[in-house]
Amino acid sequence: MLPDLDHTPWPPEVAAHYRAAGYWRGQTFGSLLTALTAAHAGRTAVIGEEARWTFAELDDRAHRIAAGLVARGIRAGDRVVVQLPNVPEFLAVIFGLWRAGAWPVFALPAHRESELRHFAGQAEAAAIVTVGVHERHDHAATARAVADDVPSVEHVLVLDTPEWAELAGTAPRELPDPDPEGVAFLQLSGGSTGLPKLIPRTHDDYLYSVRESARICRLRPESVYLAALPVAHNYPLSSPGVLGALHAGAASVLSPRPDADTAFRLIEREHVTITGVVPPLAAAWVQAAARTTRDLSSLEVLLVGGAKCGRELAARIGPALGCTLQQVFGMAEGLVNYTRLDDPEELVLGTQGRPISLDDEIRVVDEQDRDVPPGETGALLTRGPYTIRGYYRAGAHNATAFTADGFYRTGDLVRRKPSGHIEVVGRAKEQINRGGEKVAAEEVEDHLMAHPGVLDAAVVAVADQYLGERTCAYVVAAEGAAPTAPELRKFVRQRGIAAFKVPDLVEIVPAFPVTGVGKTSKRELRAALSELAALAPDLKG
């Protein structure tokens, strides 16, 4: 079994190559912000609904927060769960943590007590940074409940409180710059087994992907990036995201919500040039664009990714929004693919792009890990200068999530074009992609199994017109029990998990179909979904 390392390093000769090739440049996020501020001090860096900060203001805030965190006992290498909505403070907090040498653990606003307890516990976090009530949820109360359960958590820091104002007002001080090859933060994976795994990303590796993303998306100081999706997610954070925008000296607008009304208002107000959405949102924006009175003419590029963008939708985006479509297929574990802005239409509409780096190694393999012939479908394996070699403290999981020679098993089924462009054709992992929000089947199954009336549970994807996929939970009731679908959905919600993980459909069945070796056949369950009514009696056996 592999050891439970915080960070699985790249082999030394591979790391030497990444340095020599100029991918890893020995810069930290803190020193990047210092350099950006020197170059762009008076330019706008970040725009919220009300606030508008220059690079110099963001830099000053990050310095003060770093000093305030250190004064409260946060040390280099400490993990700090950050659960913030799309507000400018998000950037001040993460750069503050980076300057203090602490590692942000990026939770999403949608996460609830169960997930936060897992992140804080798994990371042995020293603190949680969050907000008070946001979108009718009391995040501060949730964070305090988590702190009560997780002994390592000593501080719950809540934005917009007197305590926070004091911390954020601390006099700046010089702090040692952390190791650029060391871990910078823990990102979350959508997961396919159990609870989400934590992904250790280094300053060097992540900055490489951010720098190249900014270049590939042609960001320049005059660009304006709109973060419509939750900014802690890897996609709006780095593909090219708010970090790519900062890197280019450009401004980022943080949208409180992703809906067309809010986003279009901000596009018009701030002359947004580029943004990124998931396919269902792209579809909603395409519809809304037909009747909007907002001026969207500043928009040059719309990135679409997180889930497969079908050709039909892809073809409608440019004409409807008056901009160039750029497909992006990425993962928090590393590898990011983009269609290029000068790619022929056939590739832009029909593929999910090609890798960022010439040193992104791609293998497309069959079930025995043998390369399939060029152009045929297989499972995507990858390794490269910004793809992790192991999850955080997850030796046993790493043994199966990676090949012995360090390739990450993405779980995606793909085909490769002669140009190197990748078409995503399906998935081999037990994950439901709910319009870009990933749901690990096992995590939801475990919550269902906690109900006394549930003997067995299997969660599968069901095709959905809007989201691409939704979740369906098949449940076998315990003897003498008769749980109902609404009861089970409520039960799962009350376990304190993100709303997007609560099963959309719950079907109570007498038994599951099994495979030849007696495992629950999810394939048959999925097939059964399309003819549910007719098949239900046959599920016995």
Does 331 participate in binding ligand DBH (rule CB under 6 A)?
yes
Nearest approach in angstroms of CB 238 to ligand DBH is 6
Report the residue from 10, 90, 235, 500 that binds ligand DBH according to the rule CB under 6 A. Answer: 235
- List the single partner that 69 binds among ligand DBH, ligand AMP, none, CB under 5 to 8 Å by kind: none
If one asks whether residue 331 binds ligand AMP (CB under 6 A), the answer comes out as yes
| Residue reference for tokens 């008076």 | 42
User: Residue 330 Cβ, how far from ligand DBH at the closest point, in Å?
Assistant: 2
Which of ligand AMP, ligand DBH, none interacts with 308 (beta carbon under 5 to 8 A by kind)? ligand AMP
Of 139 and 233, CB closest to ligand DBH: 233
410 binds, among ligand AMP, ligand DBH, none (CB under 5 to 8 A by kind): ligand AMP
For residue 123 the two structure tokens come to 């990371």
Are 119 and 89 spatial neighbours (Cβ–Cβ below 8 Å)? no
Smallest gap from Cβ 492 to ligand AMP, in A, equals 20
Q: Is the Cβ of residue 388 or residue 539 nearer to ligand AMP in the bound state? A: 388
Going by the DSSP 8-state scheme, the letter that residue 102 receives in this structure is -
Q: Does residue 424 interact with ligand AMP by CB under 6 A?
A: yes
Q: Binder to ligand AMP among 86, 189, 273, 382 (CB under 6 A)?
A: 189
Query: How would DSSP label each residue in 447-464?
Result: HHHTSTTEEEEEEEEEEE
C-alpha 401/C-alpha 410 separation (Å) is 8
SS3 54: strand
Query: Which does residue 109 bind out of ligand DBH, ligand AMP, none, counting CB within 5 to 8 angstroms by kind?
Result: none
Q: Which of 85-93, 304-312, 444-452, 490-498 is the region at the interface with ligand AMP (rule: CB under 6 A)?
A: 304-312
Does 332 help bind ligand DBH (rule: CB under 6 A)? yes
Name the packing angle between helices 113-123 and 139-149 (round to 10°).
Answer: 50
Instruction: Tell me the residue nearest to ligand AMP as measured from the CB.
Output: 190
Burial of 383 (0-12, 13-18, 19+ CB in 10 A): buried
Answer yes or no: are the C-beta atoms of 210 and 243 closer than 8 Å. Answer: yes
Interface characters, 205-244, with ligand AMP (x: CB under 6 A): -----------------------------x----------
Strand stretches in 75-135, DSSP E: 79-83, 103-106, 127-130, 133-134
Options 3-11, 86-94, 323-331, 479-487: segment touching ligand AMP (CB under 6 A) = 323-331
- Tell me the angle at which helices 260-270 and 279-289 cross, rounded to the nearest 10 degrees: 70
Give CB contacts under 8 A, 24+ apart, made by 315-321: 315/349, 316/286, 317/282, 317/286, 320/285, 320/286, 320/289, 320/290, 321/285, 321/286, 321/289, 321/296
Residue at shortest CB range from ligand DBH: 330
- Please, what is the minimum distance in Å from the beta carbon of residue 285 to ligand DBH? 17
Residue 28 or 238 with smaller CB distance to ligand DBH:
238
Q: In this structure, are residues 30 and 98 in contact, taking their beta carbons and an 8 Å threshold?
A: yes
239 binds, among ligand DBH, ligand AMP, none (CB under 5 to 8 A by kind): ligand DBH
The smaller minimum CB distance to ligand AMP, of residues 8 and 433, is found at: 433
Q: Where are the alpha helices (DSSP H) in 306-393?
A: 311-321, 345-350
Site size for ligand DBH, by CB under 6 A?
Answer: 11
How far apart are CB 302 and ligand DBH at their closest, in Å?
A: 13
Does 332 sit near ligand AMP (CB under 6 A)? Answer: yes
Q: Out of 109, 230, 330, 355, which residue is the one contacting ligand DBH (CB under 6 A)? A: 330
- Bridge partners of residue 252, in order along the sequence: 46, 225
With respect to ligand DBH, which residue has the nearer C-beta, 68 or 330?
A: 330
Q: Please give the single-letter amino acid code of residue 324.
A: T
Q: Which is nearer to ligand DBH, 428 or 532 (CB)?
A: 428
Rounded Cα gap, residues 433 and 307, in angstroms: 7
Write down the least CB distance from residue 416 to ligand AMP, Å: 14
Beta-bridged to residue 127, according to DSSP, are 80, 155
* Cα end-to-end span (Å), the chain: 37
* Per-residue mark of binding to ligand DBH, 62-91 (x: CB under 6 A): ------------------------------
How far apart are the C-alpha atoms of 389 and 190, rounded to whole Å? 17
Q: Tell me, by CB under 6 A, how many residues bind ligand AMP.
A: 21
Q: Which residues pair with 54 in a beta bridge?
A: 44
β-sheet bridge partners, residue 305: 328
Among 394, 380, 401, 370, smallest CA distance to 335 is for 380
**For the chain, what's the residue count?**
541
Nearer to ligand DBH, 243 or 509 (CB): 243
| Interface with ligand AMP, residue 469, by CB under 6 A | no
Cβ within 8 Å of residue 204, ≥6 positions away = 18, 23, 24, 25, 26, 27, 180, 181
Minimum separation from the CB atom of position 422 to ligand DBH (A): 13
What backbone torsions phi and psi does residue 486 show, to the nearest 5 degrees? -60, -40
Dist. CA 277–CA 168, nearest whole Å: 32
- How many Cβ atoms from other residues are within 10 Å of residue 242's Cβ? 26
Tell me which stretch binds ligand DBH (CB under 6 A): 246-254, 325-333, 455-463, 492-500: 325-333
**76 DSSP β-pair partners:** none
Q: Contacts with ligand AMP in 254-283 (CB under 6 A)?
A: none
Interface residue with ligand AMP among 96, 236, 240, 330 (CB under 6 A) is: 330
Q: How far apart are CA 446 and CA 221, in angstroms?
A: 47
Contact positions with ligand AMP (CB under 6 A) in 394-423:
410, 412
Q: Which residues within the stretch 428-467 sit at the binding site for ligand AMP (CB under 6 A)? A: 433, 438
Q: List contacts with ligand AMP (CB under 6 A).
A: 189-190, 234, 305-308, 327-333, 352, 410, 412, 424, 427, 433, 438
Residues that bind ligand DBH (CB under 6 A): 234-235, 238-239, 305-306, 328, 330-332, 336
